[in-house]
Each structure stands twice: as structure tokens, then as C-alpha cells.
Amino acid sequence: MIRNFEDMQKISKDGMDVTLKSMGAVSKGWQAIAVEMADYSKKSFEEGTAVVEKLLGAKTLEKAIEVQTDYFRKAYDGFVAEATKIGELYVDLAKESYKPFEGYIAKVAPSK
């Protein structure tokens, strides 16, 4: 019985260690996502401000439409690229947060 208690104690300790490693990976993943979102927001704001300045300096309606069309195209392309990048960060977050559990589950789960 003492042997079983010691085994349970070790399994519990290992489970806590794995959980803490996973939480560290989750924390790093969220930090990376937050930094990426902040950088994108800053870049987006700066580009929007520059476009407003160009629009105010446009001499003709055609030039204003050209500036606006170019901005919308670049903004859309940038958004798609950023959404792809953020999606990849979420996938990495999931993989990295699960990775510590892979070996632990194999060790704890009863084999068939």
C-alpha cells in the first residue's frame, strides 16, 4: 500500500510539473499574440494617418479615389497576411501547451 501511495504522490508531482510547463507555454504564446496584435494595430494606425494626409493633399477627385483605392487594397492584403500570422500563432500556442502532456499521458495512461 505504501508503494501505491508513493506512486500516486510521484504521479501527482509529475502532473503538477507538466501543468506548470504547459502554463508557461500558454503564457508565452499569449504574449507573442499580444505583441503581434499591438504591432499590427500601430502599423495600421500609422498607415491610416498617412492616407488621410494624402487625401487632404489630393488636388483632384481622381487622385483622391486612387489614393483611397490603393489604401484599401494594401489594408486588405495586410489584414489577410496578419490574420494568417495570428492563426499560425494560435496553432503554435495549442501545440506548445499540449507538448508537455504528451509524455506524461503516455506514462500515466494504462496500456492496452
At residue 1, the pLDDT reads: 45
Identity of the residue numbered 81: A
At residue 110, the pLDDT reads: 64
Q: Is 32:89 a contact under the CB 8 Å cutoff?
A: yes
Identity of the residue numbered 59: K
Task: End-to-end CA distance of the chain: give it in Å, rounded.
Answer: 24
Residue 109's closest CA among 14, 6, 1?
A: 14
What does the DSSP 8-state code read for residue 111?
P
Segment-wise mean pLDDT, segments of 10 residues, the chain, 112 residues: 71 86 93 96 96 94 95 96 96 91 75 58
